[in-house]
Amino acid sequence: MRTPARGFTLIELLVAISILAMVAVLGWRGLDGIVRARVSLTEQMEVTRGMQLAFAQMQSDCEHIPVDGVLLGTRPYLLFDQERLTMVRLAMVENEPTRLQVVSYRVRDGVLLRRESSATRNMTELDVMWKAATSDADTTAPVALQAGVTGINVQNWANNAWQAIQAPLVAPAAVTPGARYGLQVVLQTRNLAAPMVKTFLLGGA
């Protein structure tokens, strides 16, 4: 006499389905966590890369600041506060005379913007450009360098110490041989836990 085949009971099926559902949920949570971590890491890498490019541009500008006073005399060459950095830099083109231009960095609506004026050898024009850049009257179209920036903080290296000077810096009457002029820029962003800090030499000193 053959014994009839025995199937799964309803309780056994429910238990099996419950176990499979738990495994699926745990697997989905693990996969979701991996995806989220990857997205977050990618965003942080993009922000870091953008900030490095912004710092590279700042470094190029700082290296061309005429700090010796030969071209500017007693005119200011640098001004900074909690949301803006303005400087005068040399604009050099091959086979052309050296000219000057005003460059400004500013954080507005969470975006780090860079503006540069046209290059000139006329000091009166330079004065007008400087005034426009430092009084929000500059109509030059800015270039967006990095989004997600919440603030900029700048310090100047002088007298062997970092100083947060908010008055325009003017070239000294006499440059001490071997003297070092530096600038430290701190950028805060929404997507990075710690601010990014970069130190530059002024005028390639």
pLDDT at 114: 94
Q: Is the pTM of this model over 0.85?
A: no
Chain-wide mean pLDDT for the chain?
A: 81
**pLDDT tens digits for range 172-194:** 554 555 566 788 888 888 877 78
Least confident of 18-22, 138-142, 143-147, 159-163: 159-163
Which burial class, exposed, middle or buried, applies to 149 when counting CB atoms under 10 A from its CB (0-12, 13-18, 19+)? buried
**pLDDT tens digits for range 63-105:** 898 887 777 888 888 888 777 899 999 988 777 888 999 999 9
175 backbone φψ class: left, alpha, beta (φ>0; ψ -120 to 50): beta
